Structure 1
């Protein structure tokens, strides 16, 4: 089981607007021993973060109401403890400024579609 420092299962917030993909990723998280929760837009993600603590955020870069990079930056301004606790996902190439943010904050990026092995290896680094 994937446990946090307090002995509970690690809790991951998946911020993904594609419902079918979100359901698949949540099932994968559960099968790996994580507790998963999802939000389909930036607004719902911010509400979830206000109501609960997460060990990791998985953020799609293209959301209906925000850019994933901008959402991450807003989250860490409000809750600095989330700095470095995110994985970005996208089916597109990423910009140089996002590459720099990933390097600076020691984040990860998963190119869609991603393999089960690649996904699991990134989660193990959390």
Structure 2
């Protein structure tokens, strides 16, 4: 189990595809405290209400996309930045590619396996 001190690390998963968010939840829930939300707007509210150690953010979500959420986090909750991992099924878009390059955050292209998810989460946790 991944812990910082004696508390379980809290992971926010921002994903509008229910199947993917459930795979993430099932893969991570034994080691982490998981919160799911379908878009950046509700993610913003959750981040304002409680502290998260990690955030797995889909680039393309309704109401507020991952890029907009990242920009908000940069201004309002910068302590979360080292724990951000992006997911995207849009790896061929120049806008997405430019954004991911400019922010230099880890990302996981979709589709991904539970093993790939666990590996990237553990890598980020080890650098916190």
TM-score normalized by the length of structure 1: 0.88
Tell me the residue number matched to 2:99: 97
Q: Is residue 26 from structure 1 mapped to residue 28 from structure 2 by the alignment?
A: no
SS at match of 1:64: coil
Query: In 2, distance between residues paired with 1:47 and 1:67?
Result: 14
Deviation at 1:117, TM superposition (A): 2.0
Tell me the residue number matched to 1:3: 3
TM-score normalized by the length of structure 2: 0.87
Query: In 2, distance between residues paired with 1:26 and 1:119?
Result: 11
Tell me the residue number matched to 2:53: 55
SS at match of 1:66: coil
Deviation at 1:68, TM superposition (A): 0.6
Query: In 2, distance between residues paired with 1:121 and 1:24?
Result: 15
SS at match of 1:88: strand
Does structure 1 retain, via aligned residues, the 8 Å contact 2:58–2:87? yes
Deviation at 1:59, TM superposition (A): 0.3
Listed as ranges, the matches of 1:1-126 within 5 Å are 1-4=1-4, 6-31=5-30, 33-93=31-91, 94-102=96-104, 107-125=105-123, 126=125
5+ long unaligned stretches in structure 1: none
What is the Cα-based RMSD across aligned positions, in Å?
Answer: 1.3
Count of residues paired in the alignment: 120
